[in-house]
């Protein structure tokens, strides 16, 4: 008789049915887990990641493939920079950790770099845990190069590989994240730093699980070291980044993944996300799960192009940004916003509606003022000159205007106070059919003795 189905077994069976027959689940990495923290309100991403769906293949089957991935040049540049940072047993990296995070400790010398090679991710994870345990009690600096950590995600282990973990002389552990984007004058792109912080927070959570198995448990620093190229060189520059906020958000997201069965329970019977299904069936299955699209998804999720197209088709204001969505309150679509601004819908007591109507009134006044000024400048458009300048160019009533003469080479300069030579200049006509105005300081355009 087969063993009775437990709740965990039933959940795994349900997730396998959603994923598709004979399709292995796609393992989550730190980048995918960090993306969950970037958009915590998206049930679609939470479910697909919890099920283990390959979102890149799913996006291609939906007709909205993503352009994810790193160019070969960027990949090679990043590897070269990381190799330079870790050269000579990680001496430069340990120096940066000592300088930015632990200046009170003894200066690092030739730090130990244990061998972490093993067979399979499970073997590497066990070898990393043993190396951390051994390094904690040595009282010296230790560098773990590309350790393997495991983090429980929805009942399954996710294997993570940080760039480096440093063990301090006091036994505390620090995550090191090495990125190839530059740090210009001590600062870097905030969006890229935020993504690196969320990714590092995942590693901190995994390290805390390892530390919890030791007695006494060593401390895991919530300030990680971000190492980037300095300015436009290949020299390393470092900055300490506090990831406590990102760690808390990621922990909440992982808790939501453990309740993925609640999201799956609301799906229609027979829902499946297998990329081999027809596009119409896949679209129906994907749209059955609510999504919360934001422009930031374009840099974090493979389904962003599909969700953006759907969001725009529905007129959702989230496609314009989270900050705007938060300011509009109960107005969730662009037609609702326009109707409220025109006074056709919306509660006048709603601050968002009142602000929209005030903005629409100011815009209408500005447009009316622009329309009123346009006829007054019609003459300028015809003559090509502003009205005040055109009036000054018409000359006096007798058609005379002054022309400054330039003395011929070798001739004496005019005496001070001597009357200036005058020449006749035809009045400058205005209006339709007027000839092109002469350049300032030139009478008739080609008068003898005029300044060219």
Token pair belonging to 295: 């422009």
Task: Please list, in sequence order, all residues whose beta carbon lies within 8 angstroms of the beta carbon of residue 369, skipping any fewer than 6 positions away.
Answer: none
- Residue 211: band (very low, low, confident or very high) from pLDDT cuts 50, 70, 90: very high
Q: Quick one: 102 and 186 in the same domain? A: yes
Q: Quick one: 111 and 197 in the same domain? A: yes
* Mean predicted lDDT score pLDDT of the chain: 80
Peptide bond preceding 245: is omega within 30 degrees of 0, i.e. cis?
no
> Domain span at residue 33?
7-67+259-317
Q: Quick one: 235 and 147 in the same domain? A: yes
- What is the per-residue pLDDT across 292-345, written as a single tens digit (0 to 9) for each? 888 888 888 899 999 999 998 988 888 888 778 778 878 878 888 888 888 888
Average pLDDT estimate for 392-421 = 45
- Residue 377: band (very low, low, confident or very high) from pLDDT cuts 50, 70, 90: low
pLDDT(419) > 80 = no
Return the bridge partners of 145, or none.
164
- What is the per-residue pLDDT across 171-181, written as a single tens digit (0 to 9) for each? 999 999 999 99
pLDDT(243) > 80 = yes
Q: Quick one: 160 and 95 in the same domain? A: yes
Q: Quick one: 102 and 163 in the same domain? A: yes
Q: Quick one: 241 and 303 in the same domain? A: no
Nearest of 50, 22, 35 to residue 264 by alpha carbon = 50
DSSP 28: P
Structural contact between residues 362 and 354, judged by C-beta atoms closer than 8 angstroms: no
Q: Quick one: 101 and 17 in the same domain? A: no
pLDDT(271) > 70 = yes
Q: Quick one: 247 and 271 in the same domain? A: no
- The pLDDT score that the predictor gives to residue 376 is 53
Boundary of a domain, candidates 253, 281, 308: 253
- The pLDDT score that the predictor gives to residue 374 is 65
pLDDT(41) > 50 = yes
Average pLDDT estimate for 157-161 = 89
Burial class (CB in 10 A: 0-12, 13-18, 19+), 172: middle
Q: Quick one: 55 and 90 in the same domain? A: no
Burial class (CB in 10 A: 0-12, 13-18, 19+), 360: middle
The DSSP-derived string for 390-447 is HHHHT--TTSEEE--B-PPTTSPPPPTTPPPPEEE------STTPPPPPPTT-STTT-
**% the chain with pLDDT above 90:** 36
Instruction: Report the number of distinct structural domains present in the chain.
Output: 3
**Rounded-to-integer distance, Cα 282 and Cα 289, Å:** 12
- Residue 7: band (very low, low, confident or very high) from pLDDT cuts 50, 70, 90: low
> Is residue 216 included in any domain, yes or no?
yes
């Amino acid at each position: 008789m087969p063993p009775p189905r437990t709740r965990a077994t039933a959940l795994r069976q349900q997730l396998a049915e959603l994923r598709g027959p004979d399709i292995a689940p796609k393992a989550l990495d730190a980048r995918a887990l960090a993306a969950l923290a970037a958009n915590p309100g998206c049930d679609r991403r939470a479910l697909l990641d919890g099920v283990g769906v390959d979102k890149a293949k799913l996006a291609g089957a939906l007709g909205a493939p993503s352009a994810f991935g790193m160019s070969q040049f960027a990949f090679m540049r990043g590897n070269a920079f990381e190799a330079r940072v870790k050269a000579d047993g990680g001496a430069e990296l340990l120096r940066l950790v000592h300088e930015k995070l632990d200046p009170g400790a003894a200066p690092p010398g030739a730090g130990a770099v244990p061998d972490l090679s093993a067979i399979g991710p499970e073997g590497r994870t066990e070898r990393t845990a043993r190396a951390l345990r051994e390094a904690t009690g040595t009282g010296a600096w230790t560098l773990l190069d590309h350790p393997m950590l495991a983090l429980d995600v929805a009942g399954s282990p996710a294997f993570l590989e940080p760039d480096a973990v440093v063990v301090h002389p006091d036994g505390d552990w620090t995550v090191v994240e090495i990125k190839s984007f530059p740090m210009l004058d001590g600062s870097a792109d905030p969006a890229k730093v935020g993504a690196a912080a969320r990714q590092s927070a995942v590693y901190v959570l995994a390290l805390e699980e390892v530390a919890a198995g030791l007695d006494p448990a060593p401390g895991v620093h919530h300030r990680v070291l971000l190492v980037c190229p300095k300015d436009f060189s290949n020299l390393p520059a470092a900055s300490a980044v506090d990831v406590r906020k990102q760690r808390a958000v990621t922990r909440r997201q992982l808790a939501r993944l453990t309740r993925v069965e609640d999201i799956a329970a609301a799906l229609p019977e027979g829902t499946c996300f297998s990329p081999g299904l027809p596009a119409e069936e896949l679209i129906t299955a994907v749209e059955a799960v609510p999504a919360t699209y934001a422009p930031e998804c374009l840099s974090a999720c493979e389904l962003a192009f599909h969700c953006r197209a759907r969001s725009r088709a529905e007129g959702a204001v989230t496609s314009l940004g989270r900050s705007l969505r938060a300011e509009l309150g109960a107005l969730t679509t662009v037609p609702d916003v326009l109707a409220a601004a025109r006074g056709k819908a919306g509660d006048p007591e709603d601050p968002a509606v009142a602000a929209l109507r005030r903005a629409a009134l100011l815009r209408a006044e500005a447009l009316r003022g622009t329309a009123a000024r346009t006829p007054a400048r019609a003459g300028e458009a015809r003559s090509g000159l502003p009205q005040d300048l055109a009036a000054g160019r018409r000359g006096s009533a007798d058609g005379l205007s002054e022309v400054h003469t330039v003395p011929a080479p070798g001739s004496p300069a005019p005496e001070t106070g001597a009357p200036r030579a005058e020449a006749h200049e035809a009045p400058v006509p205005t209006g339709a059919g007027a000839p092109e105005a002469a350049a300032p300081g030139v009478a008739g355009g080609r008068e003898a003795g005029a300044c060219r």
